Each structure stands twice: as C-alpha cells, then as structure tokens.
Copies of this chain bind each other. A is one copy, B any other.
Amino acid sequence: MSQTGREIQLAARPHGEPTPDDFRLVEVEVPDPQDGQVLVRNLLMSVDPYMRGRMNDVPSYVPPFKLDKALAGAAVGEVIASRADGVEEGALVVHDRGWREYAVLDARYAHRIDRSIAPPSAFLGVLGSTGLTAYAGLLDVAGLREGDVVFVSGAAGAVGSVAGQIAKLRGHTVIGSAGSPEKVALLRDQLGFDAAFDYHDGRVSKLLRAAAPDGIDVYFDNVGGEHLEAAIGSLRRYGRIALCGAISSYNATEPPAGPRNMHMAIGKRLTMRGFIVFDHHDRRPDFEREVGSWLREGRLHAPETIVEGGIEQAPQAFIDLLRGTNTGKMLVRLQS
C-alpha cells in the first residue's frame, strides 16, 4: 500500500539570492502512517520570507533546514489515510510539512480546517499564522492605541496587507510602502490605505515624510534597512516599532547598514520590539473572532498570489517571493 511522492530538498545553502540549483526535486517513498498518524495529500503550500534564514547554517529561533532533506513549511492538505482517532479520511488539515506532495505526521500536529468558513488558502494566509502575525504585531507588540498613525512597510505582502487593513478597520490613519505602482494602487484603491508610496521613487525618509507630514506613531516593519531608518526619523515621541521582518537583508551577503539615527530613539522615547508569532498564540481567539468577522463581512481583503503547476514550481515561487513579485500571500498549488 506504500506509494511514492515528490518533495523539494535543499541541495545547497544559498549564497545571496537563492538559485534553482539550491533546490532538488526528488521522488521518495511515502511511508504508511503509524498509530496516531495521518497521511496527507498536500493541496497548497506556503512560501514565506522567514524560510530564507533557515537555509543558512546559523542558529536562530528555528533550527536550520538540513542539506539533502525536504524543506518544510505551512501547507493545507487532505487526509487520505488515518490511523488516528477523530481524524477521518477526507478531512482538510493545516500542518507544517509543506514542500512535499504527501506528508505523514502525528495527527496532533494536523489542525482541521472548515471549508465553510473560508477557502483553504485563507488558512495559510489571513486566517493563519500570517494574519495572526499582523494582528499580534499591531496590538500586542506595537501596543496600538487610539489615534495612532500607522506606517506599514512591505504593505502589499502577506503580513503587511493584513496589518494595514486591521489598522484601518480599527480606525487608524495608515500609510503603506510597496515595490511597484500596481501594488501602491492596490493599497490605495482596494485596501483602503490613506497613503501609499513606491519605495523605488526616492529616499524612503523623504517619501514617508511626504506621506505622513505630521509623523507616525507606529511602524510595522517587514523590511528593515532604509525603511527602518526612515521610520525612526518620522516617529513621534513615544512611538513604537514592531520588528516583524527584514526582507531587505535576507539575501544579503554582507551585513547591511544599520539605522544611523538610533540615538533619536532616546529623545523620542521610542520602543522597538522584535517578535515571532509563536509567542502570541494566546491571541488566536480574539484574532479569529475579529478578523474572521471582517472577512465574512467582506470588509477585509486577502490578496493572494497562487502559483499553479505543481511542486516543481515551488523553488521559483520562493525566489520570486524574495524579489517581491507576489502580491499578498504567496502560495503554490500542489494538487487541485
């Protein structure tokens, strides 16, 4: 009864920008599930910027990916064989064994999703860790409070597009930055941002000052680098920064320049706080209630870029993600 399936392995640790040669598509034997396990046929997998860090052989908050082993990440799949009580065949589940067509895992790590609430892709994005990252980053890390003017970088990305909309729906003035005129138009015309700019159009500090002439109170940072320095310059007294990502440096081969205006954090009494969504699962009930209802009411949009063509497309999708070709959540469809 055992079968085969394809997976993407890490063939080499990327130096700088990953290339297709850093990945390897391999056909492997899929073991039968043991007691307490399920066999899942993956339908969709997520590619996320944080995965770039795991491709380096350095200690971080998650262990590095192993060479010549399958990569991993969030995926949605259908249970096609179960030896676990309470999980029947046909159930749809979210789990962390992406980058492969079939996954065998302990049922307790497979979280059932309800297709009647939202399409499966939403559970990898706006209703998944992506959305919770945006929600907890704003509310708990940045301590969003009434009247705050909010700046979100990478605002057309998966986390940024949700963060900006949550701030908007809570009544804040929201400014976003993105990497193309089309993305800027999306932010302004469809996602309700008050102002948005293309960071290619000049120095970020100048663009931000033009978009928020009276300054900002909260910066949700997905980008790092020049964006972070510009935000420190524009933050008002008692401003807060949620450090969520630093995509501008993920492919860097040299340490990137740091913000040259850190001393401003003293006089302005700024707080900068790095965070990882792992630490914020206590926020999930609030998050699901609030974001879920905005989604159902059609007030919150979840832009997605779904790459078709099967698992063989995953490496290129990941490379493109780091180049910013996606709008919203970047997913790869493994099977339909």
Contacts and interface: CB of A to CB of B under 8 A. Distances in A.
A43 to B, nearest CB: 30
B276 A266 contact: yes
A268 interface: yes
A168 to B, nearest CB: 24
Interface string A152-163: 000000000000
Interface string A260-298: 111111111111111110010000000000000000000
A173 B257 CA distance: 32
A249 interface: yes
A309 interface: no
How many identical subunits does the complex contain?
Answer: 2
B259 A269 contact: no
A209 to B, nearest CB: 14
Interface in A206-226: 224
A182 to B, nearest CB: 28
Given A224-B263, A249-B263, A279-B269, A258 B274 contact: no
Contacts of A98: none
Given A61-B267, A267-B61, A273-B271, A260 B258 contact: yes
A265 B241 CA distance: 11
A270 B274 contact: yes
Nearest to A247: B263
Contacts of A228: 262
Contact of A273 (B224, B237, B269): B269
A217 to B, nearest CB: 15
A270 B267 contact: no
A267 B264 CA distance: 24
Contacts of A259: 258-259, 262
A229 interface: yes
A250 to B, nearest CB: 8
A246 interface: yes
A244 B263 CA distance: 9
A276 B269 contact: yes
Contacts of A86: none
Interface in A126-155: none
Interface of A: 53, 60-61, 224, 228-229, 237, 243-246, 249, 255-276, 279
23 contacts: A61-B267, A61-B268, A61-B269, A224-B262, A243-B265, A244-B266, A245-B266, A246-B263, A255-B260, A257-B258, A257-B260, A258-B259, A258-B261, A264-B274, A265-B273, A265-B274, A266-B274, A267-B274, A267-B276, A270-B273, A271-B271, A271-B274, A272-B273
Q: Which 7 A-B pairs have the closest CB atoms?
A: A258-B258, A265-B274, A255-B260, A266-B274, A246-B263, A258-B259, A61-B267
